[in-house]
Structure 1
Amino acid sequence: MRYTPAAQWLPLLLSTLGVGASDADTEQLHKRALASSGPFYPSPWMDPAADGWEEAYAKAKAFVSQLTLLEKVNLTTGVGWEGEQCVGQVGSIPRLGFRSLCMHDAPVGIRGTDYNSVFPSGQTAAATFDKALMYKRGFAMGEEAKGKGVTVLLGPVAGPLGRMPEGGRNWEGFSSDPVLTGVGIAESIKGIQDAGVVACAKHFIGNEQEHFRQIGEAQGYGFDIKETLSSNIDDKTMHELYLWPFADAVRAGVGSVMCSYQQVNNSYACQNSKLLNDLLKNELGFQGFVMSDWQAQHTGAASAAAGLDMTMPGDTVFNSGLSFWGANLTLSVLNGTVPEWRIDDMAMRIMAAFFKVGLAVEQEPINFSFWSLATYGPIHWAAKKGFQQINWHVDVRANHANIIREVAAKGTVLLKNTGSLPLKKPKFLAVIGEDAGPNPLGPNSCNDRGCDNGSLGVGWGSGTANYPYLVTPDSALQAQALKDGTRYESVLSNYAASQTKSLVTQDNVTAIVFVNANSGEGYINVDGNMGDRKNLTLWKNGDDLVKNVSSWCPNTIVVIHSTGPVLVTDWYNNPNITAILWAGLPGQESGNSIVDVLYGKVNPFGRTPFTWGATRESYGTDVLYKPNNGKDAPQQDFSEGVFIDYRYFDKANSPLVYEFGYGLSYTTFSYSNLQVEKSNAHTYRPTTGETSPAPTFGNFSTDLNDYLFPSDEFPYIYQYLYPYLNSTDAKIASADPDYGQTASEFLPPHANDGSPQPLLRSSGKSSPGGNRQLYDVLYTVTADIKNTGPIAGDEVPQLYITLGGPDDPKVVLRGFDRIRIEPGQTAQFRVALTRRDLSNWDTAVQDWVISNYPKTVFVGRSSRKLDLSAPLT
């Protein structure tokens, strides 16, 4: 069923709601009304002929056609929190020798294990603007997950995108720009899945802050709310900003997508049929499976109808022993509330993703337990049952330290340099600040890195991993100083003013100050930062430390480790501050990577993946820190539309310090000879036709006796979730006081309709990522880049375009590359512009359309330094 465009019902709604309202109130009502999620049913079923999925679906069909109903339910339902070894697992199929699928974090490494690596954050990887490095990082992470027995790696991240710079988990993603994030997530997915592990793109969608994402978490912080936050996003903004990188993920062949905790347009993301059925599975043609975030499922049959394929970790609430699915899903299929084709579609999607990455039914065993690092313990952690070996301490690191060091170094952004860098055997080096040194209690002493003690290598939360070691800047700089014969001292405190002054006021000193700002996931509170940052200042007196040292020492270098931008307005222009570097979250090789940059072993080419505003207010967006809707769902209106980060700064002429895409080098480059070549692409044709009918794989018994829990000889595990019924009385078996309603009584019309469905004009027939013509090349743009400096270096040319309309950003990023150029040499920068690159989302026709407004292409070194331009005819 198609939803009705807002243009048809909005005027009536406004006339009803806006009576007597001010102009500002009416405008807000208008924007809120545009942010709607109309119902979309039925849930689109898989397309076995989809590009890149043909072989996987053939194998999935051969496997799923053998399964009983109970076995299909087992594939879709987690076994419960702490049920087995991984952070999430579904049931196994012993009859076919199929072990449980292991779903496990995370965005920077394998969470909660040992002998694994800690990689730089996605944000730091994005700062490299290097597609090959993004892929290499993803492949290495996939190799480590594969080596531990992980089936689905819960990453990479495109949500949060980075709407607010204070967002706690922005560092897990890539950038506040959708194109840079789209490249980052696509290359990471390719790498992870080429290594033989299913990638999981998350969190879908609008999950831009930690405050109020979960009811229990918010109540634990003293907020009395009954429903989670609603991110209210209009159709145009959704397509042109937040959905854009997920389209790239789908086109890259991602096997799974995780739906998010919060609501979107006042409908929970994991049961929002507009998001899952229409945008993801229908328009984008996603062929993998949708997995819930942990405890993000709120209904049973309704979430199945809305497009959810797997529930994690399976229980309604951690360790409750109850599930919306499991036995309830078995009952729902038996009584027809969930049609047979829908459970078959769930199982097919899961197994197609499994086979697509090259996995076989006979998988390698899971060789770790997330719940303990002890060698022996209970395999069923919650029940304390099955005492055996649970950790084999398999070392999966290989040579990944080299990749980590390279990404961290090449993702370091040189923001300022008046000539003090690169260092050349300085006579006297003084290193200042807690961020340069170790956590006194060890790098893993805080649960999920939930503190800010010592050098910051990664943020906190489920997106973390245990360090095998952490090379601190202090240790690495001291090692370099010893090699060079440099005098070296450090004060690893932010508060030792007298000792610091005594040190840095000596003759011939080069002072390097290390400072940081941290954030993470909402279940951990660090110094009042409930996941999201309270502000954009440096932590632990960092700003005063920088000001003091630079007032005492005329050669002060500042290194910032942070989860996003910080305010540097008060001190960045101080002439005594001769260099500033943003080193992001570099992972385990932190010290080595910053030494590589400081000493010129790596000529910096990192570019900032976000804007550095002059003030907190200059961003135009902020976290919603207090409920604004009584006890009901807090309402967060994305009323700025597509204007976030540099797009907002350009529109509002908001004060900034360093623009998006900015970064310096130890050499110089010139840009010339911009050429635009138009392609002979065909005229765009909307998709037409309809799908095949929903496929099913055989009948099943409807006798409840056939689904009872097995005999007493079958071991029952406490809190473990099974597909079996505990009674032939369906109402008792469901534990649902409302059991007995038919599908037609509580599900929307067409939810169970398995007949052929019309294809959306914007969708691609068997083409994941949308209408395949969106990716036709319309123009090829080239420019010459010359290294005009004395040493070899990498330049990062960037291509921006103006879409030309009155509601369009001044410029938007559409392409980039990293090019190695020797002194005096010239290299060519080339970008192919696609139809999607030049299009806007038309809310009336529900498709991408190239407007008649004039368009211009720019090539330059940042969003504000655009050396070359040409019209697109």
Structure 2
Amino acid sequence: MKNKFFVTLLLACSISTVSAQTPVYMDDAQPIEARVKDALSRMTLEEKVALCHAQSKFSSAGVPRLGIPELWMSDGPHGVRAEINWNDWGYANWTNDSITAFPALTCLAATWNPDMSAKYGKVIGEEARYREKDVLLGPGVNIYRTPMNGRNFEYMGEDPYLASVMCVPYIQELQKNGVAACVKHYALNNQELWRGHIDVNLSDRALYEIYLPAFKAAVEEGGVWSIMGAYNKIRGQHACHNDFALNKILKDDWKFDGCVVTDWGGAHDTYEAAVNGLDIEMGSYTNGLTSESAFTYNDYYLANPYLRMLKDGKVPMSTIDDKASRILRLIFRTAMNRQKPYGSVATEEHYAAAREIGNEGIVLLKNAPVIKKGAPLLPIDAAKYQNILVVGDNAVRLLNQGGGSSELKVKDMVSPLDGLRAAYGDKVTYAKGYAAGRPMYGRADEISQNVVDSLRVEAVEMARKADLVVLVGGLNKNHFQDCEGGDRLEYGLPFGQDELVEALLGVNKNLVLVLLSGNAVEMPWVSRVPAIVQGWYLGSMGGKSLADILSGAVNPSGKLPFSFPAKLTDCGAHAFDELSYPGDSIKQEYKEDILVGYRWHDTKKTPALFPFGHGLSYTTFTYGKPVLSAKTMTADGTLTVTVAVKNTGSVAGKEIVQLYVGDDKCSVLRPVKELKRFAKIALAPGEEKNVTFTLTPDDLKYYDEISATWKYEPGKFKAYVCASSADVRGVVPFEMK
């Protein structure tokens, strides 16, 4: 970091002596475009090229001669990663880089609350600013195509509209701190297996309707300052220098004025990188996480090889001027932005935000009585139980560890066991129940059968004597779980958890199962477990959030951002041959096309175990009959849908009202319905509110591959008011003229 401090000091000294002769680029009162143009005119070709590639593992060069500072980047998107060494992947072992771990983005998406997204962006931006980072590598907005993807926990679910709405406030509030969001991984990084070379082919409809909208919203609505390319290929060309994705769509169609940054090691060719829209090359000659080489940063594709091609006239000079302009624009927005606020880290405000996001994102999947006509098992009434047994490795595991680049070094971490002990005191006992091994990347511990058996026996014996059992299981962030670099190997729960669930049920029916994961899992025992909670990876305050929900101090209000298929072949990506998933190791074809997630379950009449948008509450909500403002919509008009929602239970709660639209008859395949609007409302017991949604003609359109434009076909449509994609509370037809 010494280099950064020196350049910053030089810059401060230069600015402190502002005079009539001050260069335009140094004067932040000038428009950014004037500053970019002025700085570019003063730079040598060598200085321009130096901007385009890394100078260390997480920084790229500025222009020291002109007092223009370097850019410092950090992994996200759930917290600011601990400091990495200058020239290798080891941790620097600083003592002042501990931070707040925020809930994973699957949890944020499960809040269905843009206010939580804005709060998330604000506080993580403050932590990145405190750590003097200029670019935070997140949020992730790739679509959840398969529950086997090891990186789904970093993304925002299966629906492009939900991901679009939820990513924009995060970006906007993060960037108010003078820290650039770097939305990732553009595009089609929907699996980790063979991620460095798998060549994805799909229809234009699937690309434009499903996989691109969240990126487009990040650019056009969020105003994002940087985007990270994906590792995979798109139609034969690597995503980090893909002419179609970067030049045509991102920069021409969407008018993106920021920087395209490689994923670490995502560049593969100098000419393609030069002409196909890449701006900053990071991490080349490594696989992104582990290996090192003798190559220097000047050997990168966009370093000396690029400089030689420019001097030899093999690539146009316009390419370097465009790249350097974009990088300067990013520097002026971040590193040279004197208006950015001071940061802060691991404050009470940040912990409160992490806890609130967790509270709103936890999903109550099931809550049934153990005894017929009895009360549901949750919330846990302290007066009813004297011996509460907590079981599970995940009850004590530090789930900030592992996962690859999202690994975090926390200042504080409240485990589920800690949280439940704080809520229920000495009534809580603990048994490990199963072992998952050490958090590691690229490999996993093998647990001997003797250990598995002994831990299970111990937990079962303790459960036999307990009044209530809370099993905290799920996945973790080890390799082959929720972790980058490899996909899951099985849809079922790992580490013998299925057998553990069965054994616990055999001795105690009062079982609450808490699943901590970023993915759906198979549940062969689902009909016999009375209460199931999807708890995600909740970060520093996770134990407090779980205790808030389980105790009833907070009424659960999260809803699933992706479907839970009953079995893997019920998922569209897995309903075909291996070419659809995982591919043949070279190529892959998205054979389910636009029918991703609930679109597949609805259209193919294959119900999900737990559908998209599902989530229960400790209260009940009734919906009135939806009312349309008119029976027809015109090309230049709008239509409103209004529905009354009432809390008919005895406690305050929040309900997420979802509006879907379906096209009754169309010349092309369309899903039964698609999410177009949602609203999260708070209701006191007995309170009723009207929720009004406005639809426009754009909400009725599909991407027409023949004309390469968005269009709708006049005719009959339906508006579905839903509590989940499978829980339709009202349908109203209308016509598009």
- In the superposition, the TM-score normalised over structure 1's length comes to 0.71
State yes or no: 1:238 paired with 2:207. Answer: yes
The SS at the match of 1:158 is: coil
Q: Choose the corresponding residue for 1:803, options 657, 663, 677.
A: 663
2:654 match = 794
State yes or no: 1:292 paired with 2:262. Answer: yes
Query: Could you list the per-position Cα deviations for residues 164-197 of structure 1 after superposition, in whole angstroms to 9, with x for gaps in the alignment?
Result: 1110101100101111111222122112112221
Q: Choose the corresponding residue for 1:197, options 161, 172, 179.
A: 179
The 3 A distance-change label for structure 1 pair 128 and 362 is closer
- Give the gaps of 5 or more residues in structure 1: 1-53, 215-227, 368-393, 444-455, 685-776
| 1:467 counterpart letter in structure 2 | V
State yes or no: 1:401 paired with 2:263. Answer: no
Measure the CA separation in 2 of the matches of 1:620 and 1:527: 21
1:545-564 aligned at under 5 Å gives the runs 545-564=500-519
| 1:313 counterpart letter in structure 2 | G
| 2:386 counterpart letter in structure 1 | F
Q: Per-residue deviation at 1:260?
A: 0.9
Measure the CA separation in 1 of the matches of 2:487 and 2:176: 34
Measure the CA separation in 2 of the matches of 1:824 and 1:628: 49
Measure the CA separation in 2 of the matches of 1:138 and 1:164: 27
1:513-592 aligned at under 5 Å gives the runs 513-518=471-476, 524=479, 531-568=486-523, 570-574=524-528, 577-592=529-544
Query: Could you list the per-position Cα deviations for residues 387-427 of structure 1 after superposition, in whole angstroms to 9, with x for gaps in the alignment?
Result: xxxxxxx9554521111111112111001112121122142
The 3 A distance-change label for structure 1 pair 145 and 601 is same
Measure the CA separation in 2 of the matches of 1:478 and 1:550: 23
1:208 match = 190
State yes or no: 1:157 paired with 2:140. Answer: yes
State yes or no: 1:138 paired with 2:121. Answer: yes
Percentage of matched positions with identical amino acids: 30
Highest relative contact order (Cα 8 Å, sep 6+), 1 or 2?
A: 1
Measure the CA separation in 1 of the matches of 2:639 and 2:122: 31
Q: Does the Cα contact within 8 Å between 2:583 and 2:589 map onto a contact in 1?
A: no
Q: Per-residue deviation at 1:286?
A: 1.5
1:424 match = 381
The 3 A distance-change label for structure 1 pair 813 and 487 is same
Measure the CA separation in 2 of the matches of 1:529 and 1:460: 6
Measure the CA separation in 2 of the matches of 1:519 and 1:272: 31
Name whichever of 789-798 and 299-308 sits farther off.
Answer: 299-308
Which one has a bigger Cα radius of gyration? 1
The 3 A distance-change label for structure 1 pair 632 and 532 is closer
The 3 A distance-change label for structure 1 pair 630 and 545 is closer
Name whichever of 581-590 and 111-120 sits farther off.
Answer: 111-120
1:117 match = 100
The SS at the match of 2:190 is: coil
Q: Per-residue deviation at 1:857?
A: 1.0
Measure the CA separation in 1 of the matches of 2:582 and 2:691: 54
| 2:421 counterpart letter in structure 1 | Q
State yes or no: 1:652 paired with 2:604. Answer: yes
Query: Could you list the per-position Cα deviations for residues 98-131 of structure 1 after superposition, in whole angstroms to 9, with x for gaps in the alignment?
Result: 2210122011111124321111110011011111
Measure the CA separation in 1 of the matches of 2:549 and 2:422: 15
Measure the CA separation in 1 of the matches of 2:365 and 2:34: 52
| 2:206 counterpart letter in structure 1 | T
Q: Does the Cα contact within 8 Å between 2:480 and 2:487 map onto a contact in 1?
A: no
State yes or no: 1:414 paired with 2:364. Answer: yes
Measure the CA separation in 1 of the matches of 2:631 and 2:66: 52
Q: Per-residue deviation at 1:530?
A: 6.0
Measure the CA separation in 2 of the matches of 1:260 and 1:528: 16
Q: Does the Cα contact within 8 Å between 1:99 and 1:363 map onto a contact in 2?
A: no
Q: Choose the corresponding residue for 2:554, options 568, 579, 602.
A: 602
| 1:854 counterpart letter in structure 2 | K
Q: Per-residue deviation at 1:681?
A: 9.8
| 2:464 counterpart letter in structure 1 | T
The 3 A distance-change label for structure 1 pair 129 and 55 is farther
The SS at the match of 1:290 is: strand
Q: Per-residue deviation at 1:528?
A: 12
The 3 A distance-change label for structure 1 pair 680 and 853 is closer
The SS at the match of 2:609 is: strand
The 3 A distance-change label for structure 1 pair 168 and 177 is same
Measure the CA separation in 2 of the matches of 1:298 and 1:422: 54
Name whichever of 97-106 and 529-538 sits farther off.
Answer: 529-538
The 3 A distance-change label for structure 1 pair 679 and 57 is farther
Measure the CA separation in 1 of the matches of 2:362 and 2:689: 23
Q: In angstroms, what is the RMSD of aligned CA positions?
A: 3.0
Q: Does the Cα contact within 8 Å between 1:801 and 1:855 map onto a contact in 2?
A: yes
2:431 match = 491
1:433-832 aligned at under 5 Å gives the runs 433-439=391-397, 443=398, 456=399, 460-482=403-425, 487-494=427-434, 495=452, 496-506=455-465, 509-518=467-476, 524=479, 531-568=486-523, 570-574=524-528, 577-622=529-574, 634-677=586-629, 778-804=638-664, 805=666, 806-832=668-694
Q: Does the Cα contact within 8 Å between 1:433 and 1:493 map onto a contact in 2?
A: yes
| 1:126 counterpart letter in structure 2 | A
The SS at the match of 2:470 is: strand
The SS at the match of 1:613 is: coil
| 2:50 counterpart letter in structure 1 | N
Measure the CA separation in 2 of the matches of 1:851 and 1:869: 20
| 2:459 counterpart letter in structure 1 | T
State yes or no: 1:74 paired with 2:50. Answer: yes
The 3 A distance-change label for structure 1 pair 341 and 106 is same
Measure the CA separation in 1 of the matches of 2:355 and 2:276: 43
The 3 A distance-change label for structure 1 pair 563 and 292 is same
| 1:652 counterpart letter in structure 2 | K
Query: Could you list the per-position Cα deviations for residues 660-714 of structure 1 after superposition, in whole angstroms to 9, with x for gaps in the alignment?
Result: 1001001111112423336999958xxxxxxxxxxxxxxxxxxxxxxxxxxxxxx
Q: Does the Cα contact within 8 Å between 1:144 and 1:397 map onto a contact in 2?
A: no
Q: Per-residue deviation at 1:602?
A: 1.0
Measure the CA separation in 1 of the matches of 2:394 and 2:277: 48
Q: Does the Cα contact within 8 Å between 2:662 and 2:672 map onto a contact in 1?
A: yes
Q: Per-residue deviation at 1:525?
A: 5.7
Q: Per-residue deviation at 1:235?
A: 0.9
Q: Per-residue deviation at 1:538?
A: 1.2
1:760 match = none
The SS at the match of 2:228 is: strand
